[in-house]
Structure 1
Amino acid sequence: MVPLRHSIFFKINLFFLFAVAALISFFVMTLREFRMQELQLIEQQVIKDEAAIRKIILAGEEDSPRKFREKGYRYIEYPDAVRPKLTPVFQIPPASFPPMVAERIRDGRLRIYRDDDNLYFELVGPHHSTMIASRLTIYRPKWIPVLFGSMLAVLILLYWTTVRSFKPLKKLAKQIQRFGEGHMDISTKSEERDEIAFVANQFDAAVKKIRAMKEARTLFMRNIMHELKTPITKGKLSVALMEKGEEEQVLRRAFNRMEQLISEMAEVEMITSQSLDLVFEDCDLKKMVEAVEMLLFTDVLDQTIAYTCEPCTFHADCKMLTIVLKNLIDNGLKYSSDNRVEVCCKNGEIRIINKGEPLEKSFREIVEPFVKGEANHSHANFGLGLYIVKSILDAHGAELDYLYRNGKHYFIIKGLKQVS
């Protein structure tokens, strides 16, 4: 699972949220700027209209309404009916107003209102009020909300298409994870035409090729093992009927080595194929070592396996872990100078220890398949034992380490889950 802060979808969402926030901030700041400019224009119009209205009133003409109409103003006959629908403005006069106008506003003799299209000047007298309407001549750009809406719609559309384009990436990541876990029955084929679809289709083709190669390899291995078992069995029966002698020992040794090779190849095929499904349970180390003793017939071969630690239990696949111990102990006995292997558990690590000469090859080399050293026994294996060990431990999420100290080889199993 990818951490949230590293997720590409998190970054996309964050980017678009930032873009929307920036667009809204820009829109709000633009509206605020236009409103400030509008307010300045209204202030200028108020000063101009108030002077013109006052001039007409001071002229004292009898037909004042007609005079207002001639100057482009509208006389309101019933102020009380209109006033509730209007919005008061400049109740506190701005600094740009002439002192006389500001004084009249403060003492209530002049009241100014507005709606969407007009300014209203109410001249308050001792007995009645006169209200004059003046047309607002300011410019209100209608393209701002249209532009904002268009940009927001484009941004949302881009976000939707981008997320939609990246959605197959989640499916591809899950399928790659399943493939990494060993599942070969996956498909990432896509009908889209973008770069993600190209990667998905290339990966799908690679999976199919790997699956075909793996199936071919498995079939090849099984066929070889099947074809070899029959002649080896017949050969061993024939050797059993031969008289004891040097030729009989050579043939018996050859057939035993071939049988051992088939056995190791079978283990490799099982471990590296899809058939390896680990069954985790509590595994007692001492019981597994006893099972290894039965498998290796150490009492017959005059070899010793010493269990030198307290009871120790691990949560693992007991069958597979027994194979690991069998291969490591068998390897230790074959390369031991005193036919003795010590098995102990310390700090959650399993150690297989034997005396012997230093390795002729590096540890990294000997864990590769078909790489082996010179053992002190004639029945040395074919170099698959440590490769099998490594493969099983990899499946458990554990690892095999090695060190040589004071004339002893230490093969150390690390990373297994110990049961307290």
Structure 2
Amino acid sequence: MNRHSLFFKLNLLFGVALLTTIIAGVFLWRHWRMQEHIQLRMQGRLVLREWHRNGEIPEEMLGMMGLERLRGKGQAILLARLHARFAPLKNRRHLFVLRSRSGPLIYLRDRDRELLLRPESTLWSRQWLPLGLMAGFLLILTILYLLLRRALLPLKDLEREIRAYGEGESPRGQTRYASRRDEVGTLARTFYESAGKLRHLQESRQLFLRNILHELNTPVTKGRLLAEISEESETRQMLHSIFERLSLLLEELAQIERISAAQEGLEFRPVRIVDLVDQARDRLWIEEEIPIEGGGRRILADFASLSIVFKNLIDNGIKYGRDLQIRVGEDRVEFCSIGPKLEYPLEWYTRPYSRGEARAKGFGLGLYIVREILERQGMELHYRRTGEWNIFALSPLQFAEGESGD
């Protein structure tokens, strides 16, 4: 069990309280036994003194002390055991407080006379106070533990619902905790209200994006048709390239939005790194070759989204540097270019919509998209400066079966 969990702490608290109650009960029991022993010895001394002085013990005195004589066969058996254990006992005055199965006994001897006394009260009547106190504490402790555990159990359901909501499922059970007036009920209602607002905001954003894409796709499609019927081949080719570029940008915009909203399912399959680079070059309309060291290796990745990562990193390397090179290492792929050193830590550039002079010189929204895609594929973006080279690295790579990073 997680030692930071509330249930672990509750169980630990209950265990400590239970152990403390039992220990306190044992000490209370021993104290009660000791007090009883002292009381019986004091009563025995009074009885023995009266017996020695007057030669007899008034029954009224025994009744006031709550004692009674032990007679018959039981007395004879107990006396025989005492003689065997404490012999010789003759011609002496003795006082013992003994414990037997039936309870405590007072043994009195005055010369050749012997007497056994026992309390008139039963064993239960003498022990009900410590036993009752201990049982009461244990009962109250157990009830409080069960009530607290029952009050906290909905947290596990809320945890499952929050996890499911994070994976794109709609939260269920909104009415299950609506009537609760404790902190758990407040937390549940706050979560469901926030989830409803976020779902409404997400639906509004998706609707807005669909409308924009629909409105933009219509003129792009018409423009491509007009380009096909153009009489001049050079103009037709130029228009075709422009509208093809716009179509790719719209497609990429829609895919980035689906990835950011965690709605795009990833399809992991073996892909060659050189194919990712070629796809990025096509999106950027780059004709010249990019040097690739180890580009023939295959990794397990989602081709569509990872090609956007390659495209953004290649675009940054070309815009803000020169001599771009791509190297595949043991567990990473590196994008190396000569250029100025980053003025801020990499985390600053991966934040969306950062403002200021540094952003104007920096990498815009591209690295934020790179980070979001890499997180979904179990990878991270790293940056280091070696000499005059800026090196951005994606790691760790998961090579396809039969491939090696050596």
User: Is 2:273–2:296's contact at 8 Å kept on the other side of the alignment?
Assistant: no
User: Is 1:296–1:330's contact at 8 Å kept on the other side of the alignment?
Assistant: no
1:146 and 2:132 matched: yes
Q: CA, structure 1 residues 19+368, in 2 after alignment: closer, same or farther (shift >3 Å)?
A: closer
Name the CA distance, whole Å, in 1 between partners of 2:58 and 2:11.
60
Name the CA distance, whole Å, in 1 between partners of 2:128 and 2:294.
87
Instruction: Report the Cα offset of residue 299 of structure 1.
Output: 13
Per-residue CA distance 1:319-365 (angstroms, 9 max, x = gap):
43334224433543455546xx4221224121022345667998556
Q: CA, structure 1 residues 402+237, in 2 after alignment: closer, same or farther (shift >3 Å)?
A: farther
Pick aligned residue for 1:6 from 4, 7, 11? 4
Q: Give 1:304's aligned residue.
A: 289
SS at match of 1:342: strand
Q: Give 2:216's aligned residue.
A: 228
Q: In structure 2, give the amino acid aligned to 1:342.
A: Q
Q: How does 1:360-379 map to 2 (within 5 A)?
A: 367=350
1:402 and 2:383 matched: yes
Instruction: Report the Cα offset of residue 317 of structure 1.
Output: 3.0
User: Is 1:188–1:200's contact at 8 Å kept on the other side of the alignment?
Assistant: no
User: Is 1:76–1:131's contact at 8 Å kept on the other side of the alignment?
Assistant: no
Pick aligned residue for 1:187 from 160, 165, 172? 172
Name the CA distance, whole Å, in 1 between partners of 2:39 and 2:245.
104
Q: Give 1:209's aligned residue.
A: 197
Q: How does 1:240-319 map to 2 (within 5 A)?
A: 240-242=228-230, 255=243, 258-281=246-269, 283-284=270-271, 287-293=272-278, 296-297=281-282, 301-309=286-294, 312-319=297-304
Instruction: Report the Cα offset of residue 217 of structure 1.
Output: 1.1
Name the CA distance, whole Å, in 1 between partners of 2:106 and 2:293.
102
Q: CA, structure 1 residues 76+396, in 2 after alignment: closer, same or farther (shift >3 Å)?
A: closer
Instruction: Report the Cα offset of residue 176 of structure 1.
Output: 2.6
Q: CA, structure 1 residues 165+6, in 2 after alignment: closer, same or farther (shift >3 Å)?
A: same
Q: Give 2:305's aligned residue.
A: 320
User: Is 1:119–1:133's contact at 8 Å kept on the other side of the alignment?
Assistant: yes
Equivalences, count: 383
User: Is 2:259–2:373's contact at 8 Å kept on the other side of the alignment?
Assistant: yes
User: Is 1:239–1:252's contact at 8 Å kept on the other side of the alignment?
Assistant: yes
Instruction: Report the Cα offset of residue 202 of structure 1.
Output: 0.3
Instruction: Report the Cα offset of residue 314 of structure 1.
Output: 3.8
Q: Give 1:23's aligned residue.
A: 21
Q: Give 1:329's aligned residue.
A: 314
User: Is 1:307–1:343's contact at 8 Å kept on the other side of the alignment?
Assistant: yes
Name the CA distance, whole Å, in 2 between partners of 1:300 and 1:71.
117
User: Is 2:313–2:335's contact at 8 Å kept on the other side of the alignment?
Assistant: yes
Q: CA, structure 1 residues 387+47, in 2 after alignment: closer, same or farther (shift >3 Å)?
A: closer
Name the CA distance, whole Å, in 1 between partners of 2:49 and 2:243.
124
Q: Give 2:394's aligned residue.
A: 413
Name the CA distance, whole Å, in 2 between partners of 1:410 and 1:70.
105
What is the TM-score with the length of structure 2 in the denominator? 0.75
Structure 2 unaligned spans of 5+ = none
What is the TM-score with the length of structure 1 in the denominator? 0.73
Name the CA distance, whole Å, in 2 between partners of 1:318 and 1:196.
44
Q: In structure 2, give the amino acid aligned to 1:146.
A: G
Q: CA, structure 1 residues 11+137, in 2 after alignment: closer, same or farther (shift >3 Å)?
A: same
Instruction: Report the Cα offset of residue 416 of structure 1.
Output: 3.9
Pick aligned residue for 1:171 from 136, 141, 157? 157
Per-residue CA distance 1:3-28 (angstroms, 9 max, x = gap):
62211111111111111111121121
Name the CA distance, whole Å, in 1 between partners of 2:341 and 2:59.
116
The structure with the largest alpha-carbon Rg is 1
Q: Give 1:61's aligned residue.
A: none
User: Is 2:93–2:110's contact at 8 Å kept on the other side of the alignment?
Assistant: no
Pick aligned residue for 2:93 from 101, 107, 115? 101
Q: CA, structure 1 residues 164+412, in 2 after alignment: closer, same or farther (shift >3 Å)?
A: same
Instruction: Report the Cα offset of residue 160 of structure 1.
Output: 0.4
Name the CA distance, whole Å, in 1 between partners of 2:248 and 2:239.
14
Q: CA, structure 1 residues 248+149, in 2 after alignment: closer, same or farther (shift >3 Å)?
A: same
Percent identity over the alignment is 29
Q: In structure 1, give the amino acid aligned to 2:168.
A: H
Per-residue CA distance 1:58-114 (angstroms, 9 max, x = gap):
xxxxxx8xx865775977663x35545899789988xxx9x9324xx8xxxx99786
User: Which deviates the most, 12-21 or 267-276?
Assistant: 267-276
Per-residue CA distance 1:161-217 (angstroms, 9 max, x = gap):
00111111122223333334x324223632322101101110111111111211221
User: Is 1:306–1:343's contact at 8 Å kept on the other side of the alignment?
Assistant: yes
Q: In structure 1, give the amino acid aligned to 2:185.
A: A
Pick aligned residue for 1:352 from 319, 329, 335? 335
